[in-house]
Amino acid sequence: MKNSFPAKSHCARPILAVALLLALAGCVRHDPPAWQGYLEGEFVYVAAPLSGQLETLSVQKGAQVTTGEPLFALEHSAELAAQQQAAARLADLRKGQRPTELAALDAHVKQAQATAELSSRELARQETLFADKTSTAEELDRARLTHEANLRAADQLAAELETAQLGGRPDVIDAAQAALAQADWSVAQKSQASPCSGLVFDTLYRAGEFVTAGNPVVALLPPENLKVRFFVPEPDFAALRAGGIVHVSVAGHASPLDAHISYLSPQPEYTPPVLYNRDNRAKLVFMVEAVFSAADAHDLHPGQPVDVSPAP
């Protein structure tokens, strides 16, 4: 009679091996996913709204600048001349006519007042003579009309003197003020200061070159404008949320940097050919952007390759 126990032992071995493999697989520690990306900067391009020759470039590529620090100045002699002309015209309108002209008008006023005073005395004399019946009514009327005309002439000249002392009309003065404000703006725009603190990433012109209106002269990179851009496979994308934290590993930094997710692309990207099947779903990726704190971004540079992983 044959013993069947050895046969059962041989059959149990594969089953035990599979069970052992499953147990080991359950104990395997899965590392968090890692995504490839790179650093990118959103630059601030500083330009002047007016054209001109670049007279002074106050910064160099790679320098750090603070808000309000001078960056560059364009040649502005024509703008300065227009500013001085507008200021002189406004001052002239405000102070009225020249002193010699005012003195001449004042002399005419005094002469007209003296004439009116003389005609007033003549009128009084004619009234007395008419009361004594030694003068006619015609002579009295003539004296009265002459005095009234002299009074009107004196009043007219006095009004002209007052107008001459006032200067230009209000609407003319307002127009001159607007012209001066425009001239001041033109002079100010020929010199540009830094609108923010950051790195002078590039200078696009050199002193002596002609700059067209609106063309940037200096490119700035504020620390807060540096971000990491990486691409996440479709299975991992659903777990990410705006404002979430990711770890960014950068060459030269001993430990990963924290970054907050600021943008999740709504559009997926496929590796061609675009075929909607299970195999190509593994190639479906979404672009994600995250930003650093100003302190962490200070020593980073656009274009650096990085590895990104989710925070635990």
293 and 249 housed in the same domain: yes
Q: Which residue has the higher pLDDT, 211 or 23?
A: 211
Cα(29)–Cα(24) distance, rounded to whole angstroms? 10
Residue 231 maps to a domain: yes
* 215 and 256 inside one domain: no
Q: Which two tokens stand for residue 178?
A: 């607007």
Same domain, 199 and 130: no
Residue 204 lies in a domain: yes
Co-location of 61 and 144 in the same domain: no
Average pLDDT over residues 72-94: 92
Are residues 217 and 68 located together in one domain of the fold? yes
State residue 274's pLDDT score: 46
In a domain? residue 285? yes
**220 CB neighbour count, 10 Å cutoff:** 23
CA atoms of 82 and 88, how far apart (whole Å):
10
Q: Do 283 and 137 fall within a single domain?
A: no
Q: Does residue 180 lie in a domain region?
A: yes
Tell me which residue range forms the domain holding 66: 44-73+191-221
The full 3-state SS of the chain, as one line of letters, equals CCCCHHHHHHHHHHHHHHHHHHHHHHHCCCCCCCEEEEEEECCEEEECCCCEEEEEECCCCCCEECCCCEEEEECCHHHHHHHHHHHHHHHHHHHCCCHHHHHHHHHHHHHHHHHHHHHHHHHHHHHHHHHCCCCCHHHHHHHHHHHHHHHHHHHHHHHHHHHHHHCCCHHHHHHHHHHHHHHHHHHHHCEEECCCCEEEEEECCCCCCEECCCCEEEEEECHHHEEEEEEEEHHHHCCCCCCCEEEEEECCCCCCEEEEEEEEEEEEECCCCCCCCHHHHCCCEEEEEEECCHHHHCCCCCCCEEEEEECC
**Tens digit of each residue's pLDDT (9 = 90 or more) over 201-260:** 999 999 999 999 999 999 999 998 999 999 888 888 988 999 999 999 998 888 899 999
The CATH number linked to 217 is 2.40.50.100
Contact 123, 144 (CB under 8 A): yes
Residue 161 pLDDT grade (very low, low, confident, very high; cuts 50, 70, 90): confident
59 is a domain residue: yes
Domain count, the chain: 3
**Residue 18: pLDDT band by 50, 70, 90 thresholds?**
very low
**pLDDT level of residue 1 (50, 70, 90 thresholds):** very low
What mean pLDDT is predicted for residues 5-29? 51
Residue 100 lies in a domain: yes
Residue pair 38/306 in contact by the 8 Å Cβ criterion: yes
Q: What mean pLDDT, rounded, does the chain reach?
A: 85
25 part of a folded domain:
no
Check residue 278 and give its pLDDT. Answer: 53
Of 155, 184, 213, the last residue of a domain is 184
Q: How much is the average pLDDT of 151-160?
A: 90
Domain shared by 201 and 62, yes or no = yes
Percent of the chain with pLDDT over 70: 85
Tell me the C-alpha distance between 184 and 19, whole Å.
86
Q: Is the same domain home to 202 and 68? A: yes
Average pLDDT over residues 16-42: 66
Q: Are residues 227 and 273 in the same domain?
A: yes
227 with 216, same domain? no
CATH number at residue 227: 2.40.30.170
Q: Could you say which of 200, 221, 242 is where a domain stops?
A: 221
- Using the predicted structure, report yes or no on whether residue 267 has a pLDDT greater than 90: no
Whether 15 maps to a domain, the answer reads no
Would you state the pLDDT for residue 32?
Answer: 65
The pLDDT score that the predictor gives to residue 215 is: 96
**Burial (CB count <10 Å: 0-12, 13-18, 19+), residue 187:** middle
230 and 210 in a common domain: no
Q: Are residues 176 and 269 in the same domain?
A: no
d(CA 86, CA 80): 10
